[in-house]
Amino acid sequence: MSCRLLSADLGTTSLKVMILNGGGQVEGSVSEPVHTYTDGENHEQKPTEWWQSFGKACRTLESRGIGLDVDGVVCTGQMEDFIPLKNGIAETAVLYSDIRGSKGLTKRHLSSDAVAAFTGNDWRATTPLMKWLADEFPEQWDHVLFGSKDYLIYRLTGASVCDPVNGTVTGMMNIHTRAWEEQLWQGSGITRNQLPRLLEPEEVAGYVLKEAASKTGIPAGTPVYCGLGDGGAVTLGASVHGDNDEGYAYTGTTGWTAVPADTLTLSEEGSVFHLAAPQQGRFIKIMPLINMGNVHQWAVHTWCGGDFEAFEKLTAEPDSMPGSLLFIPYLNGERNPVIDEKARGSFIGIDGQVTHGHMARAVLEGLAFSLKQTFVQIGTTSSTLFLVGGGTKSRAFRQTVADVFQRSVQVSAEQELLASFGAAACGFRAIHKCSWKDAARAMQSVGEEDIIVTPDVSKKEELERKERLFIGAAGRMRGLFET
């Protein structure tokens, strides 16, 4: 079975566009940077810049002799955005890390049990931002999109769509019926005709318009599939590795722990989030972490002026770590395991012997401790931890995670492409009418050996002691910065 697909992955830091064929081979790929505009609590990006970068990437592929006459276009990307459109124009995209809408939580008219019954999630975990904007700025938008990939689809086809994976995080979709649930937004000012159509990931959203064809080089009339949010796309891509059904950890700018599931399991803390899986009737249990690669990047810039390799060397300098030194990595508030948007990071246990190298390594340990807490809470017991995302580029971080978990860490040789492979699987499934597993396998041909990192067992006892200290200290961060 063969086909050629253009797959685009629009994340928080970069846009990747590639051409794949039905054997999983990448014929060509281009990456463009994505800029975030941050001002205090405001975290926004410019949709027009996304579109310009997408057109540029497509034209670059074409200039390399890679034809854009594909059988379909499929996109994935960051979820939980709020992209208001007025008269068909989107001026801004408010990102999931923007916390201005948190006060909207106090305006819910449904009970928490009713919200959980519809959405599969604790009422505090669903996104209130669009409700807040509907109340505060109703004149500024008449339609809304919820994901970066949906904006690309809108520009390509003129269609306003959303997939069930991303629909989950809006707090307005019934996770069981995979349809919008009007009771969830009654009283907010939102109307159904302002929302995008919910389509399954393999459904056709529309066809490339002539105007879009002139901007991108993709032939007019090419089908564009709905695709899915990056949480679902990465899960599809990760499932290919060793028939991995034990879950994985994503360590990008932000992070998450994810496990496929057949049932919903609400926690008392509301920290286990559920996404509708690409497969109807299935779910993805996920625990999001706001602080991951962004904290690593902060540390690299703070101590090494942005020099990644210098930071790797810095973490290797100390022969040993002070037993009291801890780093709490909540620089941007946190959603797991401490649910506190106002939480902040801190070093604890500093004495006169602490060096920059100790502090750099403590940052990696803090991230690993935080990640491990999510795995414990979500109930993953696999002997090997499958790790994906940009954080896996760091040798020091891979080893630190292996040591803290005391498990082998497996990193896909093609892990940066997993979301793109997962998105392409939607198009392959649509064209060939095959199973999700066959589609995911067809669009991903692993040509290199995965990286396997084994834990240093000599560090087990000391790291377990520090982990207990970390859990206690992190728990005390809840509410500390409320005043």
- Asked if residue 165 lies in contact with residue 150, where contact means CB atoms within 8 angstroms, the answer is no
Question: Which of 166-175, 408-417, 440-449 has the weakest average pLDDT?
Answer: 440-449
- Asked if residue 78 lies in contact with residue 32, where contact means CB atoms within 8 angstroms, the answer is no
Residues 435 and 440: their CA atoms lie apart, in Å, by: 9
CA atoms within 13 A on the CB side of 103: 7
- Asked if residue 399 lies in contact with residue 456, where contact means CB atoms within 8 angstroms, the answer is yes
Residue 4 has φ and ψ, to the nearest 5°, of -115, 135
Residues 355 and 46: their CA atoms lie apart, in Å, by: 40
Instruction: List Cα–Cα distances, 469 to 172, 320, 370, 463, 466, in angstroms.
Output: 39, 18, 12, 10, 5
- Chain centroid to CA 307: 25
Residue 97: pLDDT above 80? Answer: no
For 386-416, write each residue's pLDDT tens digit.
898 888 999 999 999 999 999 999 998 777 7
The residue ranges of every structural domain in the chain are 4-228, 239-412+449-483
Residue 108: pLDDT above 60? Answer: no
Copy the structure tokens of residue 380: 């993953």
Copy the structure tokens of residue 115: 């919200």
- Asked if residue 93 lies in contact with residue 34, where contact means CB atoms within 8 angstroms, the answer is no
- The pTM of this model reads 0.83
Residues 19 and 264: their CA atoms lie apart, in Å, by: 36
- Asked if residue 327 lies in contact with residue 363, where contact means CB atoms within 8 angstroms, the answer is yes
Residues 206 and 160: their CA atoms lie apart, in Å, by: 9
Question: Which of 32-36, 216-220, 238-242, 454-458 has the weakest average pLDDT?
Answer: 238-242
Looking at residue 448, what is its pLDDT? 63
Looking at residue 270, what is its pLDDT? 47
Residue among 256, 231, 234 at smallest CA distance from 244: 234
Residue 315 has φ and ψ, to the nearest 5°, of -70, -20
Looking at residue 444, what is its pLDDT? 73
For 23-45, write each residue's pLDDT tens digit.
778 999 999 999 999 887 788 99
CA dihedral angle for residue 405, residue 298, residue 76, residue 440, rounded to 10 degrees: -30
Looking at residue 91, what is its pLDDT? 92
CATH 3.30.420.40 holds for 239-412+449-483: yes
Residue among 219, 151, 226 at smallest CA distance from 4: 219
Residue 187: pLDDT above 50? Answer: yes
Q: For residue 324, how many other CB atoms are within 10 A of its CB? A: 12
SS (H, E, C) 395-406: HHHHHHHHHHHC
* Burial (0-12, 13-18, 19+ Cβ within 10 Å), 89: exposed
Residue among 264, 227, 230, 249 at smallest CA distance from 439: 227
Mean pLDDT of 135-153: 86
Confidence of residue 132 (pLDDT cuts 50, 70, 90): low
Copy the structure tokens of residue 59: 């034209």
Percentage of the residues of the chain whose pLDDT score is greater than 90 = 57
Give the burial string for 361-386 (b: 16+ CB within 10 Å, else e): bbbbbbbbbbbbbbbebbebebebbb
Residues 53 and 34: their CA atoms lie apart, in Å, by: 8
Topology match between the domains 4-228 and 239-412+449-483: yes
DSSP 449: P
Residues 239 and 253: their CA atoms lie apart, in Å, by: 22
Helix (H) or strand (E) holding 86: strand 83-86
Q: For residue 312, how many other CB atoms are within 10 A of its CB? A: 17
Residue with tokens 């009339």, as numbered in its chain: 221
CA atoms within 13 A on the CB side of 75: 30
Q: What is the mean pLDDT of the chain?
A: 88
196 compared with 23, residue with greater pLDDT: 196
Confidence of residue 241 (pLDDT cuts 50, 70, 90): low
Helix (H) or strand (E) holding 17: strand 14-21
Q: What are the helix (H) ranges across 145-292?
A: 148-157, 164-168, 210-216, 230-238
CATH of 4-228, one of 3.40.50.150, 3.40.1710.10, 3.20.20.70, 3.30.420.40: 3.30.420.40
Tell me the sheet residues that pair with 410: 386, 452
